[in-house]
């Protein structure tokens, strides 16, 4: 089964739900970054949530999510868009710890429990939305639940999980975002709060080859889940030599001259996909304004 995400409504349209299975996508992201198990879980959860937040956008809009904690992993960056294309990287991919007291990958220890989660949405025509909240748990899902409540004023429940094999490869990944629509009755809000308490563990939701539809039905066993849209999810890095050139020009003439004089060229790799771009001395010369 290829990765895909669904947009749906439940509770007679008063609750919006997103469900995703992101196994192949997270696997590709983690392989490109050479992440170790705990780092895979932290990056994979962030990428999975970013994919769903991307699906909330329209047209050519894009979203960038940054989780900057004080843990050994450093920063986590993920980009997504309305076409369900996503990419991501971590500063320090080689982070792995023993399982925590609950027998789970110790994501909070890797991410850290102090820091910020920031979100930038590029909505076209120089229109940006930015939001930032403190990290509250470092487990990512709870942090985004907090983000939606405090930065977007949308009561939400966010869950994301990554199961990792003993050899560090990704076994399964997926997640959900549940949101109360404006105009929902108090009764529905209260009912949803009770349901959230009873939600099965995310690891239960993403194993056993559950589909995104299964996942939402498991979350709302007594409700009709109405699927509005299905989107195939994939890793996509939009980098190109032209874009890398733009970034290098931003470094300034002096920096480019020193690359010419000291190294007689440059090799620049994309953070997101690790593709390496080579620049000859002549090509660097052409970048000097």
Q: Summarize as ranges the residues that interact with Zn ion (CB under 5 A).
A: 237, 239, 270, 272-273, 275
Q: Nearer Cβ to Zn ion, position 85 or 96?
A: 85
Non-local CB neighbours of 42 within 8 Å, separated by 6+ positions: 67, 73, 76, 90, 95, 107, 110, 111, 140
Smallest distance from the beta carbon of 270 to Zn ion, in angstroms? 3
Q: Is there a contact between 15 and 8 (Cβ–Cβ < 8 Å)?
A: no
List phi, psi (to 5°) of 27. Answer: -60, -45
Q: Nearer Cβ to Zn ion, position 54 or 69?
A: 54
Smallest distance from the beta carbon of 77 to Zn ion, in angstroms? 12
Nearest-Å Rg of the Cα atoms of the chain is 20
Q: Is there a contact between 141 and 148 (Cβ–Cβ < 8 Å)?
A: no
Smallest distance from the beta carbon of 244 to Zn ion, in angstroms? 9
Q: Nearer Cβ to Zn ion, position 37 or 244?
A: 244
What 3-state class would DSSP assign to 198? coil
The string of DSSP letters for 45-86 reads HHHHHHHHHHTTS-TT-EEEEEEEESSTT-EEEEEEETTSEE
Q: Nearer Cβ to Zn ion, position 214 or 275?
A: 275
Smallest distance from the beta carbon of 86 to Zn ion, in angstroms? 13
Smallest distance from the beta carbon of 273 to Zn ion, in angstroms? 3
Q: Nearer Cβ to Zn ion, position 137 or 274?
A: 274
d(CA 200, CA 85): 28
Residue with tokens 């989660």: 117
Smallest distance from the beta carbon of 79 to Zn ion, in angstroms? 10
Q: Nearer Cβ to Zn ion, position 86 or 270?
A: 270
């Amino acid at each position: 089964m290829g990765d895909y995400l669904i947009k749906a409504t439940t509770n007679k349209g008063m609750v919006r739900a997103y469900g995703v299975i992101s196994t192949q996508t997270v696997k590709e992201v983690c392989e490109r970054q050479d992440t170790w198990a705990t780092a895979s879980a932290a990056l994979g959860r962030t990428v999975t949530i970013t994919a769903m937040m991307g699906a909330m956008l329209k047209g050519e809009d894009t979203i960038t999510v940054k989780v900057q904690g004080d843990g050994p992993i450093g920063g986590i960056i993920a980009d997504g868009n309305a076409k369900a294309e996503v990419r991501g990287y971590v500063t320090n991919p080689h982070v792995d710890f023993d399982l925590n007291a609950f027998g789970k990958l110790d994501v909070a220890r890797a991410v850290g429990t102090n820091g910020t989660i920031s979100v930038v949405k590029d909505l076209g025509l120089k229109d940006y939305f930015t939001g930032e909240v403190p990290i509250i748990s470092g487990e990512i899902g709870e942090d985004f639940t907090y983000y939606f409540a405090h930065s977007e004023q949308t009561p939400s429940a966010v869950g994301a999980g990554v199961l990792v094999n003993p050899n560090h490869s990704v076994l399964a990944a997926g997640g959900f975002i549940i949101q109360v629509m404006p105009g929902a009755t108090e009764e529905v809000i209260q009912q949803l709060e009770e349901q959230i308490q009873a939600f099965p563990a995310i690891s239960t939701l993403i194993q056993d080859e559950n589909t995104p539809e299964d996942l939402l039905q498991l979350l709302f066993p007594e409700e009709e889940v109405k699927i509005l849209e299905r989107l195939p999810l994939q890793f996509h890095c939009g980098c190109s030599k032209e874009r890398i050139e733009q970034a290098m020009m931003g470094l300034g003439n002096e920096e480019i001259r020193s690359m010419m004089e000291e190294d007689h060229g440059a090799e620049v790799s994309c953070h997101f996909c690790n593709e390496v771009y080579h620049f000859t001395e002549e090509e660097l010369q052409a970048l000097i304004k």
